[in-house]
Structure 1
């Protein structure tokens, strides 16, 4: 066992099995939020690297083994998170932990066969959550292709509300307008909740002036996103067709959703056996056997005329190069999937269109659960998204108890600076609040803030 470098925290005791990309992202975040972490992995180097960098315990061994879990302190653990490369091992780790300790369990499960049975598995194995990064990344990509002028779309209130991100183009009517003037003129009931300019994130007040090049996030009910973007001069029709490079799990999930939306799909995959599999799984898609990084093949298959292009190879560098190539030869909407987070500054300076990070999607869902579990008195976290490279958070709270924030007009609450209450969801009705509106028990409430680590709705108060 590797010893930690620091003292005990007042957070939860959490065991993470698997020190791959998602495991590492979770360690980074959960240590920051003050939890006691024990890592289990069979790779000694990975354990050593993480215990040297972070204040965590590390055990080299099989996370599904009873004796290894006992050594890791499973009997005093609040939560086990299994994110190894193997679905079966993840499910077994959680099953053993649920029998031995009295802890909650989260498993990463990526195989399509299992993902159809998520409800059954979760209930029968007593899991708190089963998370599928490829499926979640595909959902995010499908949302973007439904509204291709957006850079990013996150959904809240069980899909009733959306947080949409876009960049203000040259000569756009938003250039030089204040937030309050836009609010008066726009026919769609939306709220601009965050603006990134020159690398700095602003939670804007009414007198904030928008400029060309600003990256803006706005929130509204699902049905107003399109009218708002149309009002500011963006095209909003969903794409008619897409070309996907790579035929892995994420490609399968994305193609399935796009075909369901009526989008034609072409997948280029180099492995013949996988092509045959995909043609049975996705009879309505066109499956091409070939090298998706071959320029001639891409031209032959119509990259210059396609409306959207999504490289989903397993290699980030290939995805980035393919995106940059598509940008040069076509007007396609591009989405780039990136797994690693190294060279982040370089990546953010490249024109990669919409970027999807599966490991972030996974860690956000898990962190939302962890924060909700951390004894929130009056509320629960329903949804959590990190915005602008972790410099702001969008959090949706379920208000399940009376507290200092309920039944008081928002204008009378002493809210923290750099924080906006963006919407109140009352019985499925999305309210963009004014100062007179109150938060009530039973509502879900979404806030955007540059503060981090909120666990409870009362954290919005000074």
Structure 2
């Protein structure tokens, strides 16, 4: 695919980096010479200095041959403009990063596709939605929903008391008469290797295990692993950033009791006006005395989303030391993900990764409905729609030549999530969730063309 990325900032560079690994033809456009120079020296891509809204620059980038243009500059106005221009100049598909979430809320009403914008992406909205999902699945480290929760991906670390530690996948499955979950990836403690589990794969203490669950599967997993999916009600949020604002607003509207701490006095007053259901506190969230005064030990969850990754990590560690069960930190440095298990924070989230995951489904072949990369694992989760021409259509799963490094996690049929084993027959219109290692993605894609 020929892909043009407008904006060499954090999101643009991260996207270019991930896409360049896949031998895509990437052109990165930006006005900042230093950002382009860094990308040019570190990635196998073409860079182009100039204004992405310049028709001459877009033509120089060969926009008429572009399969995809992604506008991810710091200015949403620029992103929208470049997408409109690109579509008129021949780009097949366009995606714009925006910060005004009203655009997403009213996108059908406004009709952005008529202007030439195929998709709107808001990293802040994605992060806020991820946080709310994690609070609703409090027993798990990471979570991702397919088709409104028909199937859910969850991950957790296996302790010695987990019911299936020491057992194989097949033996663990026999503990329940009906299976409502299936393991799709395992990372052994102390390693960076991702295993796609088979029937004879053994669960071990310390494993970071990822499961696909349908209705009831989350409760079964909690029961078998000794985890408790404690309802989260009282939440403290540090940082009145766009993510902090949107998370506070969404959680308060969903019935959570929210305290929001913001250091800047003017911003704190504005937040208090805009968030009538949220208790906004003006103060330094790094001050342990302030946290104690605000009864941090009585909170069910602590979320730190300031603009400083180190502040977010340290404040979450303080919260953990005060007995808060669920901690979530926003980090910008991707390398911190490798530390998440050892430093004691429940979940790290990253805007760049969330935005990249959302955009990546447009890169995959076949009709990809949703896609996410597993945190700190070298694997992807892809949701395909089965077409009548798909090689997998009207076949039993056991008769499909799936690569060993890929596994079917579940099937969504008529809105209902199903854990599909070998004897399950796949039909046209089914949504299939597949977990695969990078080396098998192309083989898996071919099954759904």
TM-score of the two chains, using structure 1 as the length reference: 0.91
Q: Does 1:323 align with 2:313?
A: no
Cα RMSD after superposing both structures: 2.0
Name the structure 2 match of 1:237.
Answer: 230
Q: Does 1:254 align with 2:247?
A: yes
Q: Deviations over 1:222-268 (max 9, x none)?
A: 55323432343321132111100001111122122222332100000
Of 308-317 and 406-415, deviating more is 406-415
Q: Does 1:309 align with 2:302?
A: yes
Name the structure 1 match of 2:397.
Answer: 410
Q: Contact 2:302/2:324 (CA < 8 Å) preserved in 1? A: no
Q: 2:119 aligns with which of 124, 129, 139?
A: 129
Q: Does 1:355 align with 2:348?
A: yes
Q: Matches of residues 93-108 of structure 1 in structure 2 within 5 Å? A: 93-108=82-97
Q: Deviations over 1:402-449 (max 9, x none)?
A: 333222222222221122111111111222112211221111111112
Q: Matches of residues 414-433 of structure 1 in structure 2 within 5 Å? A: 414-433=401-420
Q: Contact 2:364/2:445 (CA < 8 Å) preserved in 1? A: no
Of 206-215 and 110-119, deviating more is 110-119
Name the structure 2 match of 1:334.
Answer: 327
Deviation at 1:456, TM superposition (A): 7.3
Over 3 Å counting, the alpha-carbon distance change for 1:251 and 1:16 in structure 2 is: same
Q: Which runs of 5+ in 1 are unaligned?
A: 1-11, 373-378
Over 3 Å counting, the alpha-carbon distance change for 1:455 and 1:134 in structure 2 is: farther
Deviation at 1:455, TM superposition (A): 5.5
Name the structure 2 match of 1:376.
Answer: none
Name the structure 1 match of 2:425.
Answer: 438
Q: Does 1:162 align with 2:155?
A: no
Q: Does 1:185 align with 2:175?
A: yes
SS of residue in 1 equivalent to 2:358:
helix
Q: Matches of residues 48-197 of structure 1 in structure 2 within 5 Å? A: 48-119=37-108, 120=110, 122-186=112-176, 189-197=180-188
Over 3 Å counting, the alpha-carbon distance change for 1:154 and 1:431 in structure 2 is: same
Deviation at 1:311, TM superposition (A): 0.5
Over 3 Å counting, the alpha-carbon distance change for 1:294 and 1:312 in structure 2 is: same
Deviation at 1:108, TM superposition (A): 0.5
Over 3 Å counting, the alpha-carbon distance change for 1:452 and 1:137 in structure 2 is: farther
Q: Which runs of 5+ in 2 are unaligned?
A: none
Q: Matches of residues 7-86 of structure 1 in structure 2 within 5 Å? A: 12-86=1-75
Q: Deviations over 1:39-74 (max 9, x none)?
A: 111110111111122222212111112222222222
Distance across 2 between alignment mates of 1:189 and 1:347: 28
Q: Deviations over 1:120-148 (max 9, x none)?
A: 25334231210111111111111111121
Q: Deviations over 1:357-395 (max 9, x none)?
A: 1111111111111224xxxxxx31111111243511111
Q: Contact 1:229/1:236 (CA < 8 Å) preserved in 2? A: yes
Q: Contact 2:161/2:225 (CA < 8 Å) preserved in 1? A: no
SS of residue in 1 equivalent to 2:334:
coil
Distance across 1 between alignment mates of 2:325 and 2:342: 19
How many residue pairs match? The answer is 444
SS of residue in 2 equivalent to 1:58:
strand
Deviation at 1:175, TM superposition (A): 2.1
Q: Contact 2:405/2:440 (CA < 8 Å) preserved in 1? A: no
Deviation at 1:159, TM superposition (A): 2.9
Name the structure 2 match of 1:272.
Answer: 265
Q: Contact 1:421/1:445 (CA < 8 Å) preserved in 2? A: yes
Over 3 Å counting, the alpha-carbon distance change for 1:124 and 1:456 in structure 2 is: farther
